[in-house]
Structure 1
């Protein structure tokens, strides 16, 4: 969420290196095959204003906006493009499906690649209050497990949702949680995951005991990939040993998308974790991108 965490600053600020370095080889391979690859910083990082972390509407617009920006620099680029991202970027790629037609005239989104995308975020927030209730669905159980394991990304998600919803943070964040609120403005993902930051506090401790999460839930739900209905082919890739974004969430997401009629290919990568899935799925991903752009 901090300006220093903008991907475009990764060459001079090593805080973001854990994620940008993971994507470097895949990017280099695609460029080597003749594709233009244009990354986004999203809304906020590196520029004035807060970053709406995991707010899919903002992220999808940011990923779409870089395509006409690229055409300003190189007018001979094709109008056909594929949205692709990892983790937070996977969610952003899925949300580009809401920014076609009138939003981006003259551009032709032909496919979406989502690697380890977070989803079921509404269930994550819902289950923090009611983790053990009878009849919980598998995705809700996975969400509850995520919520209980720490808030390295869930805490910042609540902060972002509160800002978008205009909910005063003191109404939803506990006193111990409030002590962490300056961290996202100065620390990047590796530091936020440490025990002295969000990585050392589970979401239930981060939230105030009497927190009214109704507006937070609505905002998170609106920005959850589980609510999307893409009309272009989608490739979802997930590692079976991912402990950051549990694979069960993508199991559920692909089922939801298929039930709405979306053309989804789902690849589970045996033994891959949240980072290694990039390298281990790269040949499959490149082949899929080539096929999508070829029609």
Structure 2
């Protein structure tokens, strides 16, 4: 699904916001025994990035430019436990005519939803995936593309939305796994870039931060991240009572509880209605969720606590602290960070703070403010992002705004 289409669907949904939507623009959920997305149980031992299974994927939008393959591979969660993760490899079908070997872009996707049917690899096949626009643009430049579904889209699991360490691991291990897919031509010398927007901007930034320690063998040359939710606590609190943000706040709380069991006690803070709401949210894709909670607050679903009161609990605050990107190592590769001027979902202030922190730590960066709100910001920022990638792959001189 293209971003303009996504925005149009959201607009139509908000017109009918008086009642929850009954369907989302995504394929029907499936969890039948023997399904590709059912992880082996027990999970066989495997190093991060080891492929578990693959199958060809029919992605109509890229059929003329790339061969698509859905894969399941080993990764590590926020506790460093072995997990199965799925994703998509787009191998260009045309010869690479640029310098050196073909570069690859590790695209971290934006918010999909909590339902199993929302997995990007499923939505690519169903032609409902909102990240098709950047995938097509990257392929048009001759670059290979990989897209992780992140943790939580295998059958019976729950996404660990905005859990930074998990996102970094699943993104970096996607690059490792792609090297085992026949025809990619990926080698130890392959040049990689991480790239993402919104949740994806957070995931790609986390991947760039942790790559030297978690996947030092990857030849990462740059990161491009837009609409970065660097301070998850700040973002969660800013969404409280907003027009379309409460559902995303619930996503974050659900995701962190899933990623940090026993340390982020969301369930015990919820009322009976709140627990029913969370159960429903776990089945939804993002268009439905954005339209379902206008002007709602966390206190509407809790036993009376505000989001600020819940967030001050020592156990909860410690999880937020671990997911504050500014406290993690600054990337050692050049970074292009952009943000929409009128972003109403991810505050630009906390993104600027990340930029300033990383600049102070020596990362070579450009911070660019682009026109639009949060949803349109990815599209308005794409030309600059792709131009930056082309310059870094071509090793052109770099100017920073630090």
TMscore range, shorter length: 0.7 to 0.9
Matched, 1:116 2:116: no
Query: What is the match of residue 172 of structure 1?
Result: 269
Q: Distance in 2 between matches of 1:222 and 1:282?
A: 30
Higher gyration radius (CA):
2
Bigger drift between 81-90 and 272-281 goes to 272-281
Of 27, 34, 39 in structure 1, the residue corresponding to residue 142 of structure 2 is 34
* C-alpha displacement of 1:96: 0.6
**Bigger strand fraction:** 2
* C-alpha displacement of 1:95: 0.7
* C-alpha displacement of 1:200: 5.3
Query: What is the match of residue 57 of structure 1?
Result: 165
Q: Distance in 2 between matches of 1:32 and 1:43?
A: 28
Bigger drift between 86-95 and 109-118 goes to 109-118
Query: Unmatched 5+ residue regions in structure 2?
Result: 1-113, 396-402
Of 230, 249, 252 in structure 1, the residue corresponding to residue 353 of structure 2 is 252
Q: Distance in 2 between matches of 1:38 and 1:202?
A: 36
Contact 1:165/1:216, CA 8 A, preserved across alignment? no
Q: If the length of structure 1 is used for normalisation, what is the TM-score?
A: 0.82
Q: How does 1:135-154 map to 2 (within 5 A)?
A: 143=238, 146-149=239-242, 150-154=245-249
Q: Distance in 1 between matches of 2:282 and 2:319?
A: 21
Contact 1:183/1:192, CA 8 A, preserved across alignment? no
Q: Distance in 1 between matches of 2:155 and 2:143?
A: 27
Q: Cα gap change, 1:43/1:6 in structure 2, threshold over 3 Å: closer, same or farther?
A: same
* C-alpha displacement of 1:192: 1.3
* C-alpha displacement of 1:179: 2.1
Q: How does 1:123-138 map to 2 (within 5 A)?
A: 123-124=234-235
Query: What is the match of residue 136 of structure 1?
Result: none
Q: Cα gap change, 1:2/1:201 in structure 2, threshold over 3 Å: closer, same or farther?
A: same
Of 363, 373, 376 in structure 2, the residue corresponding to residue 262 of structure 1 is 363
Contact 1:124/1:147, CA 8 A, preserved across alignment? no
* C-alpha displacement of 1:90: 0.5
**Bigger helix fraction:** 1
**1:24-54 superposed Cα distances (whole Å, 9 cap, x missing partner):** 2222121121100111100111444221111
* C-alpha displacement of 1:110: 1.2
Query: What is the match of residue 382 of structure 2?
Result: 282
* C-alpha displacement of 1:120: 1.9
* C-alpha displacement of 1:191: 1.0
Q: Distance in 2 between matches of 1:243 and 1:157?
A: 16
* C-alpha displacement of 1:124: 4.6
Helix, strand or coil at the partner of 2:336: strand
Matched, 1:215 2:297: no
Contact 1:238/1:277, CA 8 A, preserved across alignment? yes
Of 318, 341, 359 in structure 2, the residue corresponding to residue 240 of structure 1 is 341
Contact 2:241/2:294, CA 8 A, preserved across alignment? no
Query: Unmatched 5+ residue regions in structure 1?
Result: 129-142
* C-alpha displacement of 1:220: 2.2
Q: Distance in 1 between matches of 2:140 and 2:220?
A: 21
The alignment of Structure 1 onto Structure 2 pairs a total of residues equal to 269
Q: Distance in 1 between matches of 2:373 and 2:346?
A: 9
Contact 2:235/2:345, CA 8 A, preserved across alignment? no
Of 203, 217, 221 in structure 1, the residue corresponding to residue 298 of structure 2 is 203
Contact 1:148/1:204, CA 8 A, preserved across alignment? no
Query: What is the match of residue 286 of structure 2?
Result: 189
